[in-house]
Amino acid sequence: MAVLEGKVAIITVAGGMRGVGRATALKLAGQGADIALTDVHREPDDLPPAEVRAGWRAIESVSEEVTALGSRCLPVYCDLGYSDQIQDMVSRVMEHYGRIDILVNNARAIVGRDKVPVTELPEEVWDHFLAINTTAVFLCTKMVGREMVRMGKGGRIINIASDAAKRANAMGAAYSASKFAVLGLTQASALDLAPYGINVNAVCPGPINTDRLSYWERARAEDQGVPLEEFRATIVEESGRATPLGRIAEPEDIADMISFLSSDQARFITGQAYNVNGGLLFH
């Protein structure tokens, strides 16, 4: 029997063609889990060029891939900035599957507008980062956690933080503060939910080779007169060279850790924050 047979996993913001969410959906589906995927309807201007070229249809496309692996899949559009939309999403998953065993909080605000010194950071950008990167993780934990407690079958909650949750970078006040908060939320939720057999852990990736859209990268590429993908490729190469293991992470490296934390092998692990960074940071 596949290790996650009979389990249902929600993965937030899994629509990116090369994102962590898609890699996780395919990994968990390959292990037998049924999947619910969320994403927000992204503006055409917010799509990575490779997704536009491929005619990528976000969670609809990932959903087809999951189904092809033999698992069921429910794509749900949900703006994680609104608690009523999160509640509707959780209710839809419960109506559809009747259970939730695994929650992967993978969401983040689109990066770039936050990349300024703290003295220049607009309050609305700060608020947006806290809303999507932190408050949405809290709300999903609260609403899904209640269902898990009610079902009485335990569960797994995995919060995708960042190495920026352990060491801040310049021009990263909003991102780092929002991700540091995720680790506090992970520890407190782990203690609150331990009596119900619900394990809560975090994963802290270093740089990942995704096609994520970054407003900052797009603006720098325009300034330098190079295509965005060329600019991004340079960043990926430089990050790889700066990493002890000699390459940047692939989304599958993160999905493997999420799969481990979802499995029975991680049954005695809770409240932890695991680095997946090729040796860039040790604590």
Ligand X SMILES: NC(=O)c1ccc[n+]([C@@H]2O[C@H](COP(=O)([O-])OP(=O)(O)OC[C@H]3O[C@@H](n4cnc5c(N)ncnc54)[C@H](O)[C@@H]3O)[C@@H](O)[C@H]2O)c1
Closest CA to 37 of 10, 64, 57: 10
Side-chain half-sphere of 268: how many Cα atoms within 13 Å?
0
- The least CB distance from residue 268 to ligand X, in Å, is 25
Q: For residues 49 and 81, which CB has a smaller minimum distance to ligand X in the complex?
A: 81
Alpha helices in 31-131 (DSSP H): 49-54, 58-68, 83-97, 123-129
Considering the complex, what minimum distance in angstroms separates the CB of residue 79 from ligand X? 5
- How far is Cα 262 from Cα 221, in angstroms, rounded to an integer? 38
Cα 157-163-168 angle, rounded to 5 deg: 125
Catalytic residue flag (residue 166): no
Q: Which residue of the set 175, 196, 215, 274 is catalytic?
A: 175
CA dihedral sign, ordered 206, 256, 112, 114: negative
d(CA 201, CA 165): 13
Residue number, 194 or 233, with CB nearest to ligand X: 233
Quote the distance between the C-alpha of residue 216 and its chain's center.
20
Which lies closer to ligand X via its Cβ, residue 153 or residue 247? 247
Min dist. Cβ of residue 115 to ligand X (A): 13
* Cβ(13)–Cβ(21) below 8 Å: yes
Closer of 85 and 199 to ligand X (Cβ)? 85
Rounded to a whole number of angstroms, the minimum distance from the CB of residue 106 to ligand X is 5
How far apart are CB 110 and ligand X at their closest, in Å?
A: 5
Of the candidates 166, 179, 196, 274, the residue annotated as catalytic is 179
Which DSSP state fits 140? H
Q: Hey, is 105 helix, strand or coil?
A: strand
Chain residues that interact with ligand X, rule: CB under 6 A: 13, 15-16, 19-21, 39-40, 42, 79-81, 106-110, 132, 160, 162, 205, 207-208, 210, 212
| 175 assigned to active site | yes
Distance CA 266, CA 157 (A): 12
| Nearer to ligand X (CB atom), residue 4 or residue 111 | 111
Three-state DSSP at 169 gives coil
List, by residue number, the catalytic residues: 175, 179
